[in-house]
Structure 1
Amino acid sequence: MTTMRVRLPAVLALLCGCLAVTGGPPVTATPFTATAATTAAPVPTASPADSLWFDGAPLTVRGGRLTDGQGREIVLRGYNVSGETKLEENGGLPFASVADAEKAATALRALGGGNAVRFLLSWAHVEPVRGRADTAYLAAVTAQLRVFLDAGIRVYPDFHQDLYSRHLFTTGSWYTGDGAPEWAVDAGSYPAESCGICFFWGQNITQNAAVRQAQYDFWHDEHGLQDAFLATAQATMAYLREHLSAPEFAGIAGFDPYNEPYAGDYDSGQNSRTWERDLLWPFYVKFRARMDAAGWQDKPAFVEPNLFWNANISTQKQEGGLLDAGTLGPRYVLNTHFYDQKAISGILMWGKAADGRYATDFGAVRDRAAAAGTAAVVSEFGHPLSGTVSDKAPTVLKAMYQALDSRLPGARWWSDPAASGPVLSGTQWQWDLYNGRHHEPMNGNPGKVRTSGDAWNDEDLSAVRLDDSGHVTLRQDARLLDRLYPSATAGTALAFTYEDRSRDGSDTLTWNPVPGSLPSVARLVGAGRYGLLVWRSGSGTAPTELHLPASFPTGSTTVVSDLGTVYAPPPYTAATPVAVAPEPGGTGSRRLLLGDTDSGVLHYALVTDGATAPPADLLNAARSELAAWAAAHF
């Protein structure tokens, strides 16, 4: 791979006429040219094992799966970084400092098991004055984003919005928004915002006339709002392209153009499907052109359908999913969110989630992506960790991760594994270091300083917080968050399951026990955790990789595979078919590497922490059972 930075004089020259770049207040017009670039920090030299993940080639879509430059199927797992971007206390940045970003990235790898982040950006802070981008903000964004890339974490930026803009709301409002700058709100003549009787902030989407009209204006490019946003997006992408080194830029997975799009109001005779066809999809086509012009030609746009297309409450659900966009192909990824609104409501779901609760919901995501000829990512999912429904969180989140891993409930997985479907990429909402420690004057009101939870509309979903010593600590069960998953499959993943044995209070949740028909496998796993991947090899030479949770010490990890049976896998070498290596970034996280030299061959690998020094006869018996099981089902 080359380390030379690609210059974009032609692209940047185009921007000079539509969006100037400035260095923060006071704002002055400065030409946006390549000569304004600064040298990016050097990337530490990668070891051979490091290069297996960041191989210098962009991710692309092949056969409906994300793939790397070595043809391996890639699964992105991680978190949104972070809702702090919605707040003003740190100027619309995810972190107060680069040091905090480094702390978050290290913990995200070592404690959260993530290999990817959705990195939130603020239109309001990129373009505080119309037609001028703030380079001070962009430089700070780039410095914080670079930290994650250097930790071996893939990044896809997201221009985030909720309720269009905080500038629609007054200092006395019950709620707030984020996204569009003040000048964009001033351009419209919007009524005083009011949600009426609203128990959840999301009701503003359909009940607040100011929010609805502002969104409507954006999609119809009233006052040139959409064109201004697209110019800002292009300037942002060009800045990142220019200020990241080639190896760093290779770690950018794509771009999420617009968070949770919805119509605001429909035109006469319009519905959710025709709105997607006539307004949302053309916007994505324009955004895709801006990506190309900014030097992002080889990276996909992570496009979100209408917010309500896969809602799990029938009164909210709307037809959509970009049904009329045709085959999306490798230049787009189907990007959706999922929250269990029934569980969040507190009244529409009694009890807790159970095995297979979201199999149908996430199956619909897989089916829609397959029909569109592309890959899928669930870029937001989660559940409140405080309040009246927080008791559901352990089971709701376990069921969501189960549905990301497989479209089958545990009760069906062993008997019908071929129906498991592709392993979905996903980023949980969210990873906010400052949870419970904010100091956010809501809508600029010094009398309404928010400190608790996520400090935004009473939300509290962060998986982490800082303890009193300043250390990052998990707020959820580590067994749930730091998971075994196939980060890179050399070929095609046919089936995957992971029994995490996560806790709901003092109860261990076991939804996928090894069946009695595999007694040696069941004995080997015992009461421990296990994951099982079945794949068909491809034509490349790079190994399959699975993330190993921090609580899976190498010395107590057992692997049973057609490639070999190993207790305490050895360090990686190219000649070792089952081995362990550090994950890139120096955070201490590890991965299991499974090497094969064939093509089109069925392989399987069981990984468990349930055994202590298992005897050879038990390993061989388990291998025989798995071989017979795989042959019977694939």
Structure 2
Amino acid sequence: MMTQAMREPHVSGRWAWGAVLAVLTTSSLFAGVPAHAAEAPTYDARAVEVSVSGTHFFDGYGREVVLRGFNVSGETKLAENGGLPFASVEDARKSARAMRELGGANSVRFLLSWTAAEPVRGQVDEVYLSRVTAQIREFLAVGLRVYPDFHQDLFSRYVFDKDSWYSGDGAPRWVVQAGAYPRESCGICAHWGQNITQNQTVKSAMRDFWADRNGIQEAFLDTAQATMAYLAGHLDGAEFAGIAGFDPYNEPYAGQYASGEDGAAWEQGRLWPFYERFRARMDAAGWLDKPALVEPNMFWNSNLSFMKQTGGLAGVGTLGPRYVFNTHFYDQARMSGFFNLSKAKDGEYTADFNSVRNRSTALNAPAIVSEFGHPLTGTSSDKAPSVVKGQYQALDSGLGGRTWWQNPAAAGPVLSATQWQWDIYSGRHHEAMNDNPNKIRTTGDAWNDEDLSAVRLDDSGTPVLRQDARLLDRLYPSAVAGHTLAFLYEDRSRDAGTTTTWSQIPGSMPESARLTGSGLPYGVLVWRGGSASAPTELHLPAGFDPATTTVISDLGTVTGPGTTGAIAIVPEPGGTNARRILLFGASEGLHFALISAAPATAEQRSVVQKEVVRWAAGAGLG
């Protein structure tokens, strides 16, 4: 265990590492001078460390932060690399850099394996923890924030027999052996997820965990604490600043409700007390300043009515600054292949994601959608471009594109999110399903016939995207010096070769429509300035050529911003080719920025600026 002396730098003064980080100056980070070298990337810990206040994340400069990225990775569910996301540190480095450059990420949900961490009861495998730490370090090194997750699906792979149709991940073999469960069966199940509610053995194992039968929940908490203490003790101060919190348990479900119990009652009686115990373990491990990203009953927001249950942590009161409301959303109707055969449409998911915003407000805690996405092969894969576009649209704004310009004040906050998933080994696995050498899985994710990875390795070993880059590498407000009032991004992604446009600029803004109507992507951010000591930042997708990118703001207008001035384009921290836009000089009033991939003359920019000023003044933004 970590000693008190080892914990103190993280617990006492928030910037106790200031002396260590003195060379990582604000001026080097924000004046357009890259604060990194290819061999040893550095960044100011104040920019990357995350805290919680009310319904928002903040960095050390007091800016509102949006976390965007991917899950790394479903490979952790497999045995082929010992429960690690990567076969080597070199692969982790390659994947981290690609996630930054190809996916535009600033954050990652990093999957861990309880099976690998505690293969023998009471014995934490520090070799595994050392390898995990080395791989996490590669993501921190390129400026990505990391929040680990002890992942589980269907409780454990050891619930399933070697000849089973399905598999699981999570609990070690000794946990399942202690349960002495009967042979499992899902009956007539068309999808692995049906095991959650139909496989009696899976349900019993889940029930036993929440009841702490045989002390298995307490053992899990011991392992989680040891893992967090190891990370806190083996990452240096700047690296530990990049740890954004911990996700205690993936997709919790009761397994079996007690008589008269429903999802909400189970959350209050079983799930929330577990999170409180986990929170205490975080504190004991030296994670006092980092939030627990807690998930509700996994079925609380299902878009299939017969699966939807009560929950959403509605009965536990407000969460406060030590917790984050952490949920998932999949279009289960379309994923089924038969409940909904249409493609997603403009604004279709706004109600689903506004329910997340509403829970965030009620709980007085930030929200993060830590899983979303859609299969890239199979019967419903043709829906993927529209579904994922719709999910990102609803993450960006609580309004559809057709109504955003008419009522931006109702857009709501931009939601943080990590897409499922980022697995560079997609299609190249060699997994013995349930340890059966006669059932080697190589295709897709190599787990229960899933295939959702946004990335793969080409024949030269280079990471390449499997989805449209316009869809994944997005403009978003990564850090706002003040308070975001509204945000819109029209990615102009392709669906079956056709450019999809959902946002519609009003006829009263003809020059703005002309600038953004060329088929190239554009975005709009409206914010109220605050007292933050650093500029507003937006991630700039690789598809935006800095030489032709146009920024029209109340702070000025420019096509082809340089690396200095009120509007600048500079590298993201971490030594990759990823870029960001910096907006300096915002006072405490109302501000806007329209960012287009299309060039514009000075005269055009002047006219558009006037149009946007008039629009913002009459849009009820206050």
Same topology, TM > 0.5: yes
Tell me what 1:137 maps to.
128
Deviation digits for residues 4-60 of structure 1, max 9, x if unmatched? xxx9414999xxxxxxxxxxxxxxxxxxxxxxxxxxxx9996442358874167311
Deviation digits for residues 304-338 of structure 1, max 9, x if unmatched? 00000000011000011111111101100000000
Equivalent residue for 1:281, pick from 259, 263, 272: 272
- Aligned partner letter, 1:300: P
Equivalent residue for 2:176, pick from 178, 182, 185: 185
2:532 aligned with 1:540:
yes
Q: Secondary structure at the match of 2:298?
A: coil
Tell me what 1:9 maps to.
3
Q: Percent identical across equivalent pairs?
A: 62
- Aligned partner letter, 1:79: F
Deviation digits for residues 349-386 of structure 1, max 9, x if unmatched? 12200101100000000000111001000000010000
Deviation digits for residues 410-438 of structure 1, max 9, x if unmatched? 01100000000000000000000000000
Judge conservation of contact 2:95–2:424 (CA < 8 Å) in 1.
Answer: yes
Deviation digits for residues 178-197 of structure 1, max 9, x if unmatched? 00000011111211110000
Q: How far has the Cα of 1:62 moved from its partner?
A: 1.8
Q: How far has the Cα of 1:581 moved from its partner?
A: 1.1
Tell me what 2:542 maps to.
550
Q: How far has the Cα of 1:506 moved from its partner?
A: 1.4
Tell me what 1:409 maps to.
400
- Aligned partner letter, 2:571: P
- Aligned partner letter, 1:631: A
**1:321-360 to 2 correspondence within 5 Å?**
321-360=312-351
Tell me what 2:511 maps to.
520
Judge conservation of contact 1:185–1:214 (CA < 8 Å) in 2.
Answer: yes
Q: How far has the Cα of 1:275 moved from its partner?
A: 0.2
Unaligned ranges ≥5, structure 2: 8-19, 36-41
- Aligned partner letter, 2:576: T
Provide closer, same or farther for how the CA distance between residues 565 and 375 of structure 1 changes in structure 2, counting only shifts above 3 A. same
Unaligned ranges ≥5, structure 1: 1-6, 14-41
Mean alpha-carbon deviation: is it higher for 581-590 or for 508-517? 508-517
- Aligned partner letter, 1:48: L
- Aligned partner letter, 2:617: A
2:461 aligned with 1:475:
no
User: What's the TM-score, normalizing by structure 2?
Assistant: 0.94
CA distance in 2, matches of 1:60, 1:257: 18
2:193 aligned with 1:202:
yes
- Aligned partner letter, 2:614: A
Provide closer, same or farther for how the CA distance between residues 268 and 426 of structure 1 changes in structure 2, counting only shifts above 3 A. same
Judge conservation of contact 1:43–1:248 (CA < 8 Å) in 2.
Answer: no
- Aligned partner letter, 1:579: A
CA distance in 2, matches of 1:63, 1:619: 37
Equivalent residue for 1:173, pick from 138, 158, 164: 164
Judge conservation of contact 1:56–1:247 (CA < 8 Å) in 2.
Answer: no
- Aligned partner letter, 2:558: V
Tell me what 1:617 maps to.
603
Tell me what 1:606 maps to.
594
Provide closer, same or farther for how the CA distance between residues 583 and 45 of structure 1 changes in structure 2, counting only shifts above 3 A. farther
2:562 aligned with 1:581:
no
CA distance in 2, matches of 1:298, 1:10: 15
Runs of 4+ with deviation above 6 angstroms: 42-45
**1:338-417 to 2 correspondence within 5 Å?**
338-417=329-408
- Aligned partner letter, 1:381: F
Q: How far has the Cα of 1:541 moved from its partner?
A: 2.1
Tell me what 2:29 maps to.
48
Tell me what 1:446 maps to.
437
Provide closer, same or farther for how the CA distance between residues 115 and 621 of structure 1 changes in structure 2, counting only shifts above 3 A. same
- Aligned partner letter, 2:3: P
Judge conservation of contact 1:12–1:238 (CA < 8 Å) in 2.
Answer: no
Q: Secondary structure at the match of 2:110?
A: strand
Q: How far has the Cα of 1:105 moved from its partner?
A: 0.5
Equivalent residue for 1:570, pick from 559, 562, 567: 562
Deviation digits for residues 391-415 of structure 1, max 9, x if unmatched? 0000000000000000000011000
Judge conservation of contact 1:410–1:512 (CA < 8 Å) in 2.
Answer: yes
Q: Secondary structure at the match of 2:247?
A: coil
2:153 aligned with 1:162:
yes
Q: Secondary structure at the match of 2:29?
A: coil
CA distance in 2, matches of 1:57, 1:516: 41
Tell me what 1:113 maps to.
104
Tell me what 1:247 maps to.
238
Q: Secondary structure at the match of 2:109?
A: strand
User: What's the TM-score, normalizing by structure 1?
Assistant: 0.92
CA distance in 1, matches of 2:44, 2:54: 20
- Aligned partner letter, 1:445: N
Deviation digits for residues 603-624 of structure 1, max 9, x if unmatched? 000000123xx22111111000
Deviation digits for residues 147-191 of structure 1, max 9, x if unmatched? 000000000000000000000111101000000000011111211
Across the two proteins, how many residue pairs are aligned to each other?
594
Judge conservation of contact 1:380–1:427 (CA < 8 Å) in 2.
Answer: yes
CA distance in 2, matches of 1:52, 1:139: 24
Mean alpha-carbon deviation: is it higher for 115-124 or for 515-524? 515-524
**1:304-319 to 2 correspondence within 5 Å?**
304-319=295-310
- Aligned partner letter, 1:542: A
Tell me what 2:552 maps to.
560
CA distance in 1, matches of 2:438, 2:48: 50
Judge conservation of contact 2:54–2:321 (CA < 8 Å) in 1.
Answer: no
CA distance in 1, matches of 2:3, 2:494: 55
Q: How far has the Cα of 1:295 moved from its partner?
A: 0.4
